[in-house]
């Protein structure tokens, strides 16, 4: 079991074993979740941009910047 101490200012040091496991470094942001059973989970907010590859499917047809601008202007005129 890995333990840490809470200071009077509400701060703690995340033990090295946990930092290595979560792949977090100084300056990284963390999310805290309170689970239904009362346990607290921590998850890093950091992710490598390469992890996003393949998240979206490729468009069926290519769209030019001009076509995008026309669509934006048309939509703006409708509102």
- The Cα–Cα gap between 77 and 71 comes to 10
pTM of the model: 0.53
Mean pLDDT, the chain, whole residue set: 89
Question: b/e map of 4-29 (b: 16 or more CB within 10 Å)?
Answer: eeeeeeeeeeeeeeeeeeeebeeeee
pLDDT-based confidence at residue 31 (cuts at 50, 70, 90): very high
Residue 52 three-state SS: helix
Inform me whether the pLDDT recorded for 76 exceeds 70. Answer: yes
CATH of the domain spanning 1-48: 2.10.260.10
Q: Which of 43, 48, 18 is nearest to 31 (CA)?
A: 43
Q: How far apart are the first and last CA of the chain?
A: 59
Inform me whether the pLDDT recorded for 77 exceeds 70. Answer: yes
Provide mean pLDDT across the span 63-78. 88
46-70 per-position pLDDT tens digit: 767 777 788 888 888 888 999 999 9
């Amino acid at each position: 079991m890995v333990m840490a101490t809470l200071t009077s200012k509400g701060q703690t040091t995340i033990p090295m074993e946990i930092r290595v496991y979560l792949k977090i470094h100084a300056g990284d942001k963390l999310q805290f979740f309170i689970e239904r059973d009362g346990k607290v989970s921590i998850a890093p907010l950091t992710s490598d941009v390469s992890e996003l590859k393949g998240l979206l499917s490729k468009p069926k047809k290519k769209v030019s910047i001009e076509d995008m601008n026309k669509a934006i202007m048309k939509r703006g005129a409708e509102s």
